[in-house]
Amino acid sequence: MPRKSEEAPKEGVNKQLAEGIRDSASRIWLAGVGAFAAAQQQGSGVFDSLVEEGERVQKQVKNAAEDAYASVVTKASQAWDQISPDQLGSLFENSVARALHVLSIPTREDVEKLSLRVAELTKIIKTLLEETEAQDAVPALTRQASAPEPRAAVARKRPTRAEAPL
């Protein structure tokens, strides 16, 4: 539980803050009342002058915005004119390639490499199957002529390093 000596400074600060806020609010209120009274005394002239000033500022802002827009359009047009169709196509292709790479989608070149590798492996498998079938056919012919012999392990050709998968 806080002591009374600690509470006293906090209460003093809070009172000063509250008085400062009340004083500021009062001054703002008095300024508004004073402006209203001045406007009533001068009549509609003040209102009309404020409208004219607002129209003048609005025109300046509108002109500045139109100038900025025209400048941007001009610069964009100049930049567009400097890009050739080949450069534009190249930019597009590079953007698409980066997007495909990020999504891990293979390129045409990747697919072609894989197709070539599949063709090589298919050829190797076909050769191995033919060799195996030929070796299986030889013992069958000899079995008919003589007594059955135990079948020896079939030696298979191992692919060379160049033939090995990537």
Residues 142 and 163 in one domain: yes
CA atoms of 59 and 65, how far apart (whole Å): 10
Residue 99 has, within 13 A of its CA and on its CB side, a CA count of 6
What's the average pLDDT block by block, 10 residues per block, for the chain (166 residues)?
55 77 89 80 74 88 91 86 81 86 86 95 94 77 57 60 61
Are residues 155 and 112 part of one domain? yes
In a domain, 50, yes or no: no
Cβ–Cβ under 8 Å, residues 130 and 154: no
Contact 166, 117 (CB under 8 A): yes
Whether 95 and 128 share a structural domain: no
- Whether 78 and 130 map to the same domain: the answer is no
**Whether 115 and 159 share a structural domain:** yes
Same domain, 13 and 27: yes
Report pLDDT for 59: 93
Same-domain status, 116 and 156:
yes
Quote the strand ranges of the chain, DSSP E. Answer: none
Please indicate, yes or no, whether the overall pTM of this predicted structure exceeds 0.85: no
Q: Are residues 85 and 119 in the same domain?
A: no
Number of domains comprising the chain: 3
User: Is residue 95 one of the residues assigned to a domain?
Assistant: yes
Q: At what angle do helices 44-82 and 4-42 cross, to 10 degrees?
A: 100
Structural domain of 33: 9-41
Cα 52 to Cα 35, 49, 58, 64, 163, distances in angstroms: 18, 5, 10, 19, 88
Is 131 within 8 Å of 157 (Cβ atoms)?
A: yes
